[in-house]
Structure 1
Amino acid sequence: MQQESLVEYGSRRVIITITAIFCALLEIVDTTIVNVTLNDMRGNMGATLSEIGWVITAYAIGNVIVVPMTSWLSQQFGRRNYFAASIIIFTISSFLCGNATAMWELILFRFIQGIGGGALLVTSQTIITESYPPEKRGVAQAIYGLGVIIGPTLGPPLGGYITDNYSWPYIFYINIPIGVIATLLTLQFVRSPKYAEKKAINEIDFLGIILLAITVGCLQFVLERGQEDDWFNDPTITLFTVMSALGLFFFIWRELTYKNPIVELRVLKNGNLRVGTILSFILGFGLYGSTFIIPLYTQSTLGWTATQSGMLMIPAALTTAFMMPIIGKLLEKGVPQQYLVALGMLLFFVYSLWGYMIITPADTGSDAFFWMLIVRGVGMGLLFIPITTLALSSLKGQQIGQGAAFTGMMRQLGGSFGVALITTFMARQNMVHRNDLVSKLDTNDPDVINRVNSLAHGFAAKGMDAGTAVRSGYKVLDYSITKQAAVMSYMDVFLYLGLMFLICIPFVLMVKAKKAAKLDPSAMH
């Protein structure tokens, strides 16, 4: 009955929904907004490339550590208080990030910002889900999904525009007014559920908290830094991998045996949540992986600006936004979630195959991406809401918060795995393709000689001496090989991402057979 008491109506529900979406957007936009400003930060702070990478890593680690604990922290302090405190932490650390004068300060404040932000995403989802009656949950997830899908896409163009027209601290300062308004609205309108009494200090699972922090913190570090530090050839990466594996083993053991666990793993007995958690991981992999790959390709290979790359993604985000209410209505009418997920995965495969076919070393225009990204937008809409509703559909009361924490964490980890695997895969494929192309080039081949000679003539006409002109001709040839190898690596990423989604379709359709049998265990507690 408590769950019913949290259902809101009229203008109150509208205000709560808007507040929760703004908070989710704050968190997600901040995940990607810094990507296009790293160069400016690096110049301003006098930092190395690997140091500036920590601006992203520190935020992600703070985020992933706190996400699984949100349900427990909400019970401990009351959801409204915890949500408001998280917004305040996020807002203050945003101000401190903008004011940072040394690299270590910026990294520390980004970590604290990540801790504040982690709660915003999952708690927003729980608040929206519980504000709507069960039959309108599809619409609730559609509304929440707007923030989650549009957020990563809004980050790069917004970051590019602010950096080009103002300066990088303003990407953090824009959070402050939104944070202040969201805090006031939360304290005024959001209600806390009356769950179990909060635990006494001696019952708090401090060991669970430490083991969780070690497990996900080390894992996130390995995923973010692995490629740059040459994976297991680096002793630090190896050490952190071992620590993460041991941390996970002892964390699971602790949570299953302790009376008041920090993360309620038993909620995973629910079959729908288990399937939803796995699908959330795959969704994160595709969502963040594809958001990462296209700006990278357009900026590094086609030479676009940050703003141009970001703007390219906006039509797809608007398409997803347009799809959300339609999909919410389809779910309300009883269309099975797994059919929609399967269709979404098929569209994602079409998008990836399209990308594989159109990218070139130099002359892929922005119009070539338009319809391909529209297909991605429709596919993402079909994936996000049905996956989330499937995961949370048969949970009750505080289990909704625990389930949202699992799906949120797995989506984040899926994104981290996606970006880490894509970067590693591309670096390896780049070498393979380059070696392959070079092996096919014979310096005695008349075509190669003619190409180099024509390039050398061009340089000589600009006043270079003969020897330098020939060397410059070979350099241009080498550059075009490097570019061609890079493009072939991007093609491989598109192809394999698409195949991954295609392979998942039969497994998603199989969920149907198990669904009826597994709706019952939701009344576990």
Structure 2
Amino acid sequence: TIITESYPIAKRGMAQAIYGMGVIVGPTLGPPLGGYIVDNFSWPFIFYINIPIGIIATILTIFYVRSPKYGEKLKANQVDWIGIILLAMFIGSLQFVLEHGQQDDWFSNALIVALSVTSLFGLILFIWREMTYEHPIVNLKVLKDGNLRIGTIMTFILGFGLYGSTFIIPIYTQSVLGFTATDAGLLLIPSSITTGIMMPFIGKMLQNGVPQKYLVTGGFIIFFIYSLWMYVMMTPDTGAEHFFWPLVVRGIGLGLLFVPITTLSLSTLVGKDIGDGAAFTGMTRQLGGSFGIAIITTFIARWTQQHRVDLLPNINAVDFKVQERIQGLQHMFMSKGFSANEALDRAYKMLDMTVTKQATVLSYMDVFIYLGVLFLVCVPFVLLIKKGAGKVNMSAAH
């Protein structure tokens, strides 16, 4: 909304592209900075560093950001505080359930059951509140627009893939490949640089009238290619050099998606609905990211266990190759000064760790292939966008 008011129609595509660059590149630059802080200081400092950044952002906002001239100015007592609380109840409870359900045995745990009920009632009451309150924090009525409904689905999946893939790559490289936190974070730099370079070009293409449908379709397909590439590439011994080109492809895909999806979502809205629609898509993207991280975490834990169960029958103590492997490990530990029994015990433990590591790799492979399919499934939704709806009539917002 602020960008719409601050820039003339001819420059809004580029302004949205610059804004999108910050939204996409920011989360990608977080892991390398966080990794450096964890490796060289202490993990609490990854939270402390946000304090000066927040102070600077607040000062800059006060002095430089102006509310839209046509925006509705609300008094403090008119703000939908109840809606905010209900939304927090819904999202916070659901996210806790998704993150902790697996380790707490889901609905066998009283807290999981209580928070599930809280989340359900929070959602129902939130919808009722937003549909009946004069100044809703989220205007759900804009969802009457078909393009926005479709765009909301695509935006949710974009957030799911953006934040989900940003989350799991550092985790995978540290837990499976043994990278330091700094090295794991630095892997994402190529992706963020690629996206940063692409954004101005995307803005220019939009200004020149390139159909957003083409860009969005290309972005979904390219992200699918990235996910498939990661699926094929992943092994317990994958090196840092193998990640470079897949992550460059990821940056291209995300660059093609962010701004075009937003403009397609708002393409049939007019007047104040444009600002409400933009706010809704922004919230949906953040929800997609939050749920993506929670769901992926649970998925990896669940399928690591399942793959381990599937792999263990292949470890037969009477099998010649298994015996050869155990004997080799036993001799290695004996050469380090352990007794025969201690060495044998350690050999079995190392073999068990190898199985667990392989199961973990398989679970991450599953995540990437499912992420890719999820993005590929979005391509038909692009075709449902109303014909001829490609340009947002931003001037109507005035």
Same fold, judged at TM 0.5 (above):
yes
Q: 2:130 aligns with which of 245, 255, 279?
A: 255
What does 1:2-21 align with in structure 2 at a 5 Å threshold?
none
Q: Helix, strand or coil for the counterpart of 1:513? A: coil
2:209 maps to 1:344: no
**Shift in Å at residue 490 of structure 1?**
1.1
Q: 2:330 aligns with which of 438, 443, 456?
A: 456
**Shift in Å at residue 343 of structure 1?**
0.6
TM-score (norm 2): 0.91
Match of 1:505 in 2: 379
Query: What is the rounded CA distance, in whole Å, between the counterparts of 1:463 and 1:175 in structure 2?
Result: 49
Amino acid at match of 1:305: T
Match of 1:469 in 2: 343
What does 1:13-412 align with in structure 2 at a 5 Å threshold?
126-168=1-43, 170-194=45-69, 195-196=71-72, 198=74, 201=77, 205-361=80-236, 363-396=237-270, 398-412=272-286
**Shift in Å at residue 327 of structure 1?**
0.9
Q: 1:493 aligns with which of 347, 350, 367?
A: 367
Query: What is the rounded CA distance, in whole Å, between the counterparts of 1:221 and 1:338 in structure 2?
Result: 36
- For the 8 Å contact 1:227–1:423, the answer to whether it is kept is no
Structure with larger RCO (C-alpha < 8 A, sep 6+):
2
- For the 8 Å contact 1:319–1:374, the answer to whether it is kept is yes
- For the 8 Å contact 2:267–2:389, the answer to whether it is kept is no
Aligned in 2, Cα 1:406/1:200: closer, same or farther, shift over 3 Å?
closer
Amino acid at match of 2:182: T
Query: What is the rounded CA distance, in whole Å, between the counterparts of 2:382 and 2:131 in structure 1?
Result: 28
Amino acid at match of 1:149: I
Aligned in 2, Cα 1:311/1:465: closer, same or farther, shift over 3 Å?
same
Aligned in 2, Cα 1:482/1:338: closer, same or farther, shift over 3 Å?
same
**Shift in Å at residue 172 of structure 1?**
4.4
RMSD of Structure 2 on Structure 1 (CA): 2.6
**Shift in Å at residue 186 of structure 1?**
3.0
Greater helix content: 1
Structure 1 residues 369-417: Cα deviation after superposition (integer angstroms, max 9, x where no partner): 1111100000010011111222234445543432232112211111122
- For the 8 Å contact 2:225–2:372, the answer to whether it is kept is yes
Query: What is the rounded CA distance, in whole Å, between the counterparts of 2:300 and 2:16 in structure 1?
Result: 34
Aligned in 2, Cα 1:466/1:196: closer, same or farther, shift over 3 Å?
closer
Amino acid at match of 2:297: T
**Shift in Å at residue 422 of structure 1?**
1.4
- For the 8 Å contact 2:11–2:207, the answer to whether it is kept is yes
Structure 1 residues 147-179: Cα deviation after superposition (integer angstroms, max 9, x where no partner): 111111111111122333344454445445544
Which shifted more, 343-352 or 231-240?
Answer: 231-240
Amino acid at match of 1:162: I
Amino acid at match of 2:378: C
Q: 1:428 aligns with which of 263, 288, 302?
A: 302
Amino acid at match of 1:424: T
Aligned in 2, Cα 1:334/1:519: closer, same or farther, shift over 3 Å?
closer
Aligned in 2, Cα 1:458/1:214: closer, same or farther, shift over 3 Å?
closer
**Shift in Å at residue 257 of structure 1?**
2.7
Q: Helix, strand or coil for the counterpart of 1:303? A: coil
Query: What is the rounded CA distance, in whole Å, between the counterparts of 1:220 and 1:284 in structure 2?
Result: 15
Amino acid at match of 1:503: V
**Shift in Å at residue 515 of structure 1?**
3.6
Structure 1 residues 202-237: Cα deviation after superposition (integer angstroms, max 9, x where no partner): x65454344333223322332343334333222212
Query: What is the rounded CA distance, in whole Å, between the counterparts of 1:216 and 1:183 in structure 2?
Result: 25
Amino acid at match of 1:256: M
Q: Helix, strand or coil for the counterpart of 1:511? A: coil
Query: What is the rounded CA distance, in whole Å, between the counterparts of 2:28 and 2:147 in structure 1?
Result: 29
- For the 8 Å contact 2:38–2:181, the answer to whether it is kept is no
**Shift in Å at residue 199 of structure 1?**
5.2
Query: What is the rounded CA distance, in whole Å, between the counterparts of 1:141 and 1:212 in structure 2?
Result: 27
Unaligned 5+ segments in structure 2 are: none
**Shift in Å at residue 514 of structure 1?**
7.8
**Shift in Å at residue 135 of structure 1?**
3.1
Which shifted more, 445-454 or 290-299?
Answer: 445-454
- For the 8 Å contact 2:159–2:286, the answer to whether it is kept is yes
Aligned in 2, Cα 1:262/1:489: closer, same or farther, shift over 3 Å?
closer
Aligned in 2, Cα 1:209/1:433: closer, same or farther, shift over 3 Å?
closer
Report how many aligned residue pairs link the two structures: 396
2:352 maps to 1:481: no
Amino acid at match of 1:350: I
Query: What is the rounded CA distance, in whole Å, between the counterparts of 1:167 and 1:429 in structure 2?
Result: 31
Structure 1 residues 91-118: Cα deviation after superposition (integer angstroms, max 9, x where no partner): xxxxxxxxxxxxxxxxxxxxxxxxxxxx
Match of 1:48 in 2: none
Match of 1:75 in 2: none
TM-score (norm 1): 0.70
Query: What is the rounded CA distance, in whole Å, between the counterparts of 2:74 and 2:310 in structure 1?
Result: 63
